[in-house]
Amino acid sequence: MSAGWTHHSGTAVALDLESVDTDQLIPARFMSVPRVQGYGPYLLHDLRYDGAGQKLPDFVLNRHEGASILVARRNFGSGSSREAAVYALVDFGMRVVVAPSFGDIFSANAVNNGLLPLALPEADVDQILAMLVAQPAEARVDLQAGNLRICGRDYAFQLPQVWREKLMNGWDDIDLTTARAPQIAAYKTARRASTPWVWPS
Amino acid sequence: MTQAPAATAPATLFDKLWQAHEITRRADGASLLWVDRHLVHEGSHHAFAKLAARGAPVAEPQLTYAVVDHYAPTRGRDAIPAGDIRRMIETLGQNAHRHGLRLFGLRDPDQGIVHVVGPEQGLTLPGFTVNCGDSHTSTHGAFGALAFGIGATEVAHVLATQTIWQMRPKTMRITVVGQLGPAVGAKDLALHWIARLGADGARGHAIEYAGPAVRALSMEGRMTLCNLSIEGGARLGMVAPDDTTFAYLKGRPFAPAGADWARAVALWARLPSDDGAQFDREVEIDASDIAPTVTWGTSPEEALPITGHVPNPAQLPPARAARASEALDYMGLSAGQALQGVAVDQVFIGSCTNGRIEDLRLAAKVLQGRRAKVPGLVAPGSALVKAQAEAEGLDRIFTQAGLDWVEAGCSMCVGMNGDLVAPGKRCASSTNRNFKGRQGRGARTHLMSPAMVAAAAITGTLCDVRPLLEGRV
């Protein structure tokens, strides 16, 4: 779990694609790497590098390597449960992804790593992409207020309270759960009595 | 159907499962759920590393099962060269040994893909919660289980506590009326609904599949259908348990036996959704509308009947034209082209979607006495499926057709074990994702049923399997 945050200001860039799936975010061949080595180089690898491993100079993330807010089209992060897709974004430096919709598992993984999956209506995203197409822009995200400010415009966004608090507090769920050990133990006793076949003999 | 007691509102299968596993609920709406089965694989190395960093043990080793599948070589298992593949498999073995977990390793006669092994071992049971760090965990919902994929942080949490925090998804019922036509199966049904509703069409929802066409499916078919729930964006997919479910499970190694069996069946029979239970969303599909279905693009929603033509971007609204052009370009197809007759370079039959015995039987029916025009790989979903297929002589049908018959694992679905499709090559595949680069950088994947893959092998092109199966089913 990363440290919590309430505001983020950074450079927003447009990735004008829909269904940027987990296999594009990080191709499977890189997933055996231990996290400590850093996953940033693998983010969108096959869009960023040619077959010989050379950077493609026109690709948006190669032109703007300091970007921390990514704006894309619908169905971002669909596919696999690989948390490595989020590691690649976070290790590259991303803090926020803006899109009309996200894969459910991707969103949960993102929040668990301090990355905000910021969902906006398609029309808003279209407008933002149009503003960013020529060049990136500075943007500011306020988690508490639920507001994205970019190119002088404000976009309000909704966030489940669970996610907001986790992002702001940098919570580690295991610590929170361990505090509930007596409730878990009581549940387990009842489960053993009602469905003993959960524990195969 | 029995009515729910008067004091209780009619409940869905999902409502019953959620309630039975909810340990507590926070004020912010997150529920802490008990996990009955936790399945781990080589990719769980991040989670084990998190556990090690805390010095924490596995809370319930008896409920945690480790399976080698993603990196499992399908050939040359006795001499795996040093490198990432061997290291990943060894790391899982070490973690399983350290924590006292049952390991389905490479030499285990019960090894296979985690979503094939769980059900065939009777580890997956109705009324259970099943988690695994793999999105196709939705497969296990075919048994009336609450089964969903999770990320590494959540895997570490389940390892450490045997519980998981979740926000309650919305419910959605997909009712499939009518009857599937000959040679049309669960794969076609799944691709059909995903094409209709979109790859994010069921986002945030728990699906229950219902209706006569679903009831008529075997457990293998139900698993294929539930497996692909994630490709339509659903959190999970389920089919209520019935006699088909119980007949499949009876006598499985980890299924309850003796007095427990009768007790379990009595409990399971109460799981189906009550009459009058409310779903947040209802969708109806007519099975008789469905033809053998094939994907043409790079998202599972980009699927069409085999008799169809790929889109012509010039005739699409601008918002959709760019996406379609890009997908057609990647796939090497031209605007408006007919799907039938598209030449394929190779075929693959296998995966957690379609690597079960019934899948292999149907593919073999198509291939029997015929020769494949293109090379291909048949990777059974488990060592038990492999043994069963060999006992039935299916392996000889595949090899006599010219296809390679190999060991069990995820194989060419995701390519982690080195079974890759070369750049620019076109593969007819019984798998679950046609994402760019899924089967290898630049690989072109067409998803379809195993029967349709077999038909593509024989003709060397995308084609309709129905004439090839006439008189054979």
Residues of chain A positioned with their CB less than 8 A from the CB of B61: none
Co-location of B441 and B366 in the same domain: yes
pLDDT at A172 (0 to 100): 81
Nearest by CB to A198, from B36, B84, B326: name it: B36
Co-location of B214 and B320 in the same domain: no
The burial class, CB within 10 Å (0-12 / 13-18 / 19+), for A133 is exposed
Is the residue at B421 inside a domain? yes
Nearest by CB to A101, from B36, B137, B200: name it: B200
Whether residue A189 lies within 8 A of chain B, CB to CB, comes out as no
Whether residue A69 lies within 8 A of chain B, CB to CB, comes out as no
Query: Which of helix, strand or coil describes residue A158?
Result: coil
Domain closes at, from B283, B317, B337: B283
- Cβ distance of B435 and A46 shorter than 8 Å: no
The one-letter code for the residue type at B452 is M
Is the residue at B4 inside a domain? no
**Residue B94 to chain A, least CA–CA distance (Å):** 15
**Residue B452 to chain A, least CA–CA distance (Å):** 23
Co-location of B155 and B136 in the same domain: yes
Q: Which helix (H) or strand (E) holds B160?
A: helix B152-161
- Ranges of residues in chain A whose predicted pLDDT is under 70: 1-2
Whether residue A29 lies within 8 A of chain B, CB to CB, comes out as yes
Which domain covers residue B229, as residue numbers? Answer: 13-283
Co-location of B304 and B273 in the same domain: no
Chain B nearest-CA residue for A114: B153
Whether residue A34 lies within 8 A of chain B, CB to CB, comes out as yes
Q: Where are the alpha helices (DSSP H) in B229-308?
A: 243-249, 259-268
Query: Which of helix, strand or coil describes residue A109?
Result: helix
Co-location of B328 and B388 in the same domain: yes
Binned at pLDDT 50, 70 and 90, residue B235 comes out as very high
Locate tokens 């012509």: which residue?
A: B312
Nearest by CB to A162, from B28, B49, B56: name it: B28
Chain A nearest-CA residue for B260: A197
ipTM value > 0.95: yes
**Residue A100 to chain B, least CA–CA distance (Å):** 11
Co-location of B191 and B327 in the same domain: no
pLDDT at A1 (0 to 100): 52
Q: What is the CATH number of the domain that holds B387?
A: 3.30.499.10
CA distance B279 to B415: 38
pLDDT at B7 (0 to 100): 61
Binned at pLDDT 50, 70 and 90, residue B4 comes out as very low
> Is pLDDT at B448 greater than 90 in this prediction?
yes
How far lies A85's CA from each of A45, A201, B210, B276, B460, in Å?
11, 39, 34, 41, 35
Is the residue at B374 inside a domain? yes
Is the residue at B195 inside a domain? yes
Residues of chain B positioned with their CB less than 8 A from the CB of A159: none
Provide the domain count of chain B: 2
Residues of chain A positioned with their CB less than 8 A from the CB of B29: 160-162
**Which residues of chain A form beta strands (DSSP E)?**
7-15, 69-72, 96-99, 116-119, 137-142, 147-150, 153-156
> Is pLDDT at B314 greater than 70 in this prediction?
yes
Residues of chain B positioned with their CB less than 8 A from the CB of A104: 169, 203-204, 233, 235
Domains of chain A: 7-170 (3.20.19.10), 172-201 (no CATH)
Share of chain B above pLDDT 70, in %: 99
- Cβ distance of A174 and B254 shorter than 8 Å: no
Co-location of B335 and B436 in the same domain: yes
> Is pLDDT at B158 greater than 90 in this prediction?
yes
Q: What's the average model confidence in pLDDT over B111-128?
A: 98
Q: What's the average model confidence in pLDDT over B373-390?
A: 98
Q: What's the average model confidence in pLDDT over B127-138?
A: 98
> Is pLDDT at B6 greater than 70 in this prediction?
no
pLDDT tens figures, A80-134? 999 999 999 999 999 999 999 999 999 999 999 999 999 999 999 999 999 999 9
pLDDT at A3 (0 to 100): 83
Binned at pLDDT 50, 70 and 90, residue B319 comes out as confident
Domain closes at, from B252, B283, B314: B283
Per-position DSSP letters for A71-85, written without gaps between them: EE-SSBT-S---THH
Q: Give the strand order in the sheet containing B22-25.
A: B22-25, B30-34, B163-167
- Cβ distance of A46 and B441 shorter than 8 Å: yes
* Average pLDDT of every residue of chain B: 97
Whether residue A38 lies within 8 A of chain B, CB to CB, comes out as no
**Residue A88 to chain B, least CA–CA distance (Å):** 14
Domain closes at, from B283, B302, B327: B283
Per-position DSSP letters for B315-330, written without gaps between them: GS-HHHHHHHHHHHHH
Is the residue at B167 inside a domain? yes
Whether residue A89 lies within 8 A of chain B, CB to CB, comes out as no
Whether residue A197 lies within 8 A of chain B, CB to CB, comes out as yes
- Cβ distance of B233 and A177 shorter than 8 Å: no
| Pair of tokens at residue B250 | 């009876």
**Residue A29 to chain B, least CA–CA distance (Å):** 6
How far lies B473's CA from each of B221, B292, B362, B372, B441, in Å?
16, 15, 8, 20, 38
Query: Which of helix, strand or coil describes residue B173?
Result: strand
Co-location of B76 and B175 in the same domain: yes
Is the residue at B150 inside a domain? yes
Residues of chain A positioned with their CB less than 8 A from the CB of B438: 23, 28
Binned at pLDDT 50, 70 and 90, residue B325 comes out as very high
Measuring CA to CA, which residue among A176, A186, A113, A171 is closest to residue B34? A186
Kind of pairing between the strands at B30-34 and B22-25? antiparallel
Whether residue A109 lies within 8 A of chain B, CB to CB, comes out as yes
Is the residue at B1 inside a domain? no
Q: Which helix (H) or strand (E) holds B305?
A: strand B303-305
Measuring CA to CA, which residue among B156, B108, B130, B119 is closest to residue B63? B130
Task: Enumerate residues 6+ apart whose C-beta is below 8 A from B115.
Answer: B132, B134, B136, B137, B139, B140, B223, B227, B352
Co-location of B69 and B88 in the same domain: yes
**Residue B471 to chain A, least CA–CA distance (Å):** 38
Q: What's the average model confidence in pLDDT over B96-104?
A: 98
- Cβ distance of A81 and B134 shorter than 8 Å: yes
pLDDT tens figures, B257-271? 999 999 999 999 999
Co-location of B449 and B347 in the same domain: yes
Whether residue A144 lies within 8 A of chain B, CB to CB, comes out as no
**Residue A164 to chain B, least CA–CA distance (Å):** 10
Nearest by CB to B256, from A113, A173, A197: name it: A197
Co-location of B277 and B410 in the same domain: no
Co-location of B334 and B269 in the same domain: no
> Is pLDDT at B318 greater than 90 in this prediction?
no
Residues of chain B positioned with their CB less than 8 A from the CB of A176: 165
Is the residue at B7 inside a domain? no
